[in-house]
Amino acid sequence: MIAPIIRCLNNGYEQKDIVIDAIINNNKVIEEVDVNKYNAFHMMQRTHELMSYYSAREGLLKAEMAYPDVTFRHTIGRSTEWYEINLVPIKVSHHEAKTKFQLG
């Protein structure tokens, strides 16, 4: 996030003349959730979501603090997480889970 700002500064632009539109690789807003009924897998999902969010935001936050006169206009991020689009094939029905538990 800082490299484009440094490039602009090296080209003679002042901070107040620089406008940043950022595309980050996760949700741009973290949702508040009730974890009272979460199981271990749900907690793992939430942990991954939080870690990804703060990892992606870290570069943006550091740039905003280091260059306070730069305008950070738009931040765009995706609206779904990897586990919401069923990339991990571990979804089983109640009957399948019960059968597997009985088999040991």
pLDDT tens for 61-88 read 899 999 999 999 988 876 655 445 444 4
How far apart CA 58 and CA 85 sit, in angstroms, is 25
β-strands 19-23, 71-76 pairing: parallel
pLDDT digits (tens, 9 = 90+) for 21-41: 988 776 667 788 898 989 999
Helix (H) or strand (E) segment spanning residue 72: strand 71-76
